[in-house]
Each structure stands twice: as C-alpha cells, then as structure tokens.
Amino acid sequence: MHHMPDSVKQHIIARKTHKVPNLAIYNEIQKACVEEVKVSHPQLTDGQARALLQHQAPREHSITRHDVNNIALRLARDSYRKDENDVRSVQLLVEKNKDKIICHQSQKCHWNAAGQVVQDAPFIIGVMTDHMTRQLALNGHGAAVILDTTHGLVKYMFPFLSMLVMDDWLQGVPGAWAMLSNEQEPTLMTFFDAVKGRVESLKPDWRPSCFIIDDCQAFANALRQVWPGVPVNLCIWHVKKAWVTNLVSKVRNLDDREAMFKDLSAIMHGAELNQLESPDELLAAVKVQMQQFCSKWSYYSGFKAYFETEWMPRPGKSYGI
C-alpha cells in the first residue's frame, strides 16, 4: 500500500472503533474526496469527479477498498495480538484471561536426524466464558451437542473446534472453543476433559443425549472415553455430502445418480425403520436395505465398492445410531 495520509488513517480508525462497516467507511471517504474535487471544479458531476480521482488525483484521493480492509484487519489483529512473537502473544492472552481459558499447552517440537520437524507436545488452547458454560449446561444437558471443525483460519493451519448446542429458538450457540495443532485422540481428550470439568462445576450431573460429529474416528474415541455411554452420531449433512461427492465422481448418468441418492436417503430416513424399537432389529433392517441397494446398483462397481468398504461394515453410522 502506498503512503496514506495520517488524517485518512485516523478517520478509518475512528470509524472502526464505532464498528462502522468497511464499505461504509470507503464510501464516506470517496464522497468527501468527490466533494473536495468539486470545490475546485464546480462544473463536474459526481461521476466526472470520481473519474478524475481515479486518473489524476493524489494519493489521499485514491483510497481503495483494499486499503480500508487492510487497516481494519490490522486493527482487529492488534486487538488480540499482544506481542510480535506469537508464542509470547498467546501466553499474554492466557495470563490476561485465566477465567476463560480452560486448558492451554504450548507446542514443543524438535528436528530429527532426517531434518524433519517432530512434534513432542501439541498446541492446545480451550476457551469457555461464563456465558458459554451456562449455555452448555442449560441447553446441552439431555440434548444433542454438535462438534464442528474449521480449517485454515490461521496461518499455522491449526483446526478450530466448536462445541455447539441449540437454544430455545433452535439456533446454534457456542458452548466451548478450541484451537489445536492436531486432531489426535489424546489431544482431543485433553480438551474434552477440560470441558467436562468446567461444565460439571456448574451442573454436576451434566450429560448430553448424544454428540454429533464429522466422520472422524479420533473424535468418536475421545468422546467415548470422556463421556462413556453417550451415543456418538455422525452429522447427517456430512454423511450425505460424502455420498454426493462419490456419486458425482463415480456415476455419470444423472438420472441414475439422483435415483441412487434417493435410495440412500430412504435408508437413512426410512419411515418403516422408525417403527422398530429394538436397536438390534433396526441394525438388521438397515443391513438388509444396504445389501438391497448394492444389488440394485451393482452396475456401478466403483460406487458399490466405495459403499461396501466405507458404509457396509458400520450400518448404524449411516442411520445416526
């Protein structure tokens, strides 16, 4: 970014402190610049003045949206970054927010003989404010708790994990957050143990009806270790997304692809299965439907092989058991 006058920077900073959107700030600056040009060129229309700004104006009259966004990003970063060294910055944040940090561990690594970085201890930071703790205790007890992982939010590519519950208006609200350097079972258990300790300090008998997760075995194992006996179900959206992705890549005929997806959805949501009370009966019925699906669509050997490998060995997973 070229040199920007301090007066413009201060205007942007002042407006951001009042939470004015970036686009609105940009429009304000552009409007002021147009008015300034029209003072010396009163014969120009607004459009002509903007054209003049684009081609002949000094730097203070050629602020772009990118410039405004850059300053806003720097302000946002400075609001939480306490030191140029990221490790020290995190330590300072933890020290300042001890009541909200439920677990923290610095990452430790070393170089092996092959010149590769080996992680000795993962980075872990877990967050639960008083409000989040109350939400998890109130809306998560006897109800579903949803786990969602987002990747690529930070330059280190650490996954960001959210534990969500549904409020009275069926809106998802966060109950806990974590940033982790990996998604291995021991790392996840450290975070889940901290969550359990915090929420049980408010509600000792806290126990969700189930956990809903992506298709990640480490998550399922860690949750079952920390909360034994609580069902761990797959997120229906992720199951269907996996099916669609493989249908698109393995089934070229659009009509067949649509019909196969309907058959798969029928297995997941079949009304006749809901009439079965015994889990064993339900699993047996799902297995039969899966086998019928594979027989019906055996022509598409690629998808059949995928389905038999990924889903036939665990029939309950496709039905959320």
Q: What is the mean pLDDT of the chain?
A: 84
For residue 154, which phi and psi values (nearest 5 degrees)?
A: -125, 165
Tell me 297's DSSP state: T
Please say if the pLDDT value at position 61 is more than 60: no
Q: Which amino acid is at 239?
A: V
Say what the alpha-carbon torsion angle 256, 260, 265, 271 is, to the nearest 10 degrees: 100
Q: Are strands 144-150 and 160-166 parallel, antiparallel or unpaired?
A: antiparallel
Residue where the block lists tokens 């969602």: 148
Please say if the pLDDT value at position 293 is more than 90: yes
CA 267/CA 285 separation, integer angstroms: 9
**Enclosing H/E stretch for 223:** helix 217-226
**Enclosing H/E stretch for 124:** strand 124-127
If DSSP codes are grouped into helix, strand and coil, which group holds residue 180?
Answer: strand
CA 230/CA 179 separation, integer angstroms: 24
The pLDDT value recorded for residue 203 is 96
**Confidence (pTM):** 0.67
Q: List, for residues 87-107, the tens digit of each pLDDT value.
A: 777 888 888 888 999 999 988
Share of the chain above pLDDT 70, in %: 86
